[in-house]
Amino acid sequence: MINVLKRQNGFSIAIPASFVSDVPHLREKTFRIGLVGRAAAIFRVDEIIVYPDQPKTDQRRDSNLVAVILSYMETPQYLRKRLFKIRPELQYAGALPPLRTPHHPTADKIENLAVGEYREGATVARVREGTLVDIGVEQPLIMEERKLPLNKRVTVKVAKLGKKPSAVLAKPEEIRQYWGYKVTVVDVPLGQLTKTRRFDLIIATSRRGTPLSTVADELRGRWRASRNKLVAFGAPTQGLYEIAAQEKLKLETIADFIVNTIPNQGTETVRTEEALCVTLSILNLF
Residue numbers in the chain where pLDDT is lower than 70 = 1-2
Pairing mode, strands 141-143 and 130-134 = antiparallel
CATH number of domain containing 137: 2.40.50.140
CA-wise closest residue to 155 among 142, 145, 167, 169: 169
- Tell whether 138 and 195 lie within a shared domain: no
Render pLDDT for 8-42 as a digit per residue (tens, 0 to 9). Answer: 899 999 999 999 988 889 999 999 999 999 999 99
State which of 124, 153, 172 marks the end of a domain. 172
Which pLDDT score is estimated for 209? 94
Write down the pLDDT at residue 237: 86
Is residue 255 assigned to a domain? yes
In whole angstroms, give the CA distance from residue 208 to residue 55: 23
**Cα angle 27, 120, 226; round to 5:** 85
Residues 88 and 186 in one domain: yes
Count of alpha carbons within 13 angstroms of residue 52, beta-carbon side: 16
Distance CA 164, CA 75 (A): 26
Q: Is 196 helix (H, G, I), strand (E, B) or coil?
A: helix
Same-domain status, 189 and 229: yes
Cα distance between residue 134 and residue 245, in whole Å:
48
Does one domain contain both 14 and 96? yes
CATH number for 206:
3.40.1280.10
Q: Which of 125, 150, 172 is the last residue of a domain?
A: 172
Q: How far apart are the C-alpha atoms of 173 and 113, rounded to whole Å? A: 21
Q: Do 264 and 190 fall within a single domain?
A: yes
Residues 61 and 135 in one domain: no
Give the integer Cα–Cα distance in Å for 250 and 157. 47
Residues 62, 20: contact at Cβ < 8 Å? yes
pLDDT for 2 equals 66
Q: What is the pLDDT of residue 230?
A: 98
Any domain includes 3: no
Which domain does 136 fall in, by range?
110-172
Residues 54 and 137 in one domain: no
- Residue where a domain terminates, one of 119, 153, 172: 172
Q: Flag whether 1 is in a domain.
A: no
Evaluate whether residue 4 is within a structural domain. no
Is the CA virtual torsion 267, 35, 8, 148 positive or negative? positive
pLDDT value for 104: 95
Do the Cβ atoms of 10 and 44 come closer than 8 Å? no
Give yes or no: residues 220 and 89 share one domain: yes
Domain tally, the chain: 2
Asked if residue 268 belongs to a domain, the reply is yes
List beta partners, residue 201.
Answer: 229
**C-alpha to C-alpha distance for 100 and 118, rounded to whole angstroms:** 15
The number of angstroms, rounded, from the C-alpha of 213 to the middle of its chain's C-alpha atoms is: 27
| 137 and 244 inside one domain | no
Shared-domain flag, residues 93 and 211? yes
Judge whether 272 lies within some domain. yes
pLDDT at 275: 93
pLDDT tens, 41-86?
A: 999 999 999 999 998 899 999 999 999 999 999 999 999 999 998 8
Helices (H), the chain: 26-42, 60-74, 77-83, 190-196, 212-225, 240-245, 251-254, 272-283
Longest alpha-carbon distance in the chain = 66
Q: Which of 223, 247, 201, 222 is nearest to 51 (CA)?
A: 247
Residue at 79 is within a domain = yes
Same domain, residue pair 94 and 168: no
> Could you tell me if residue 57 is inside a domain?
yes
Both 62 and 165 in one domain: the answer is no
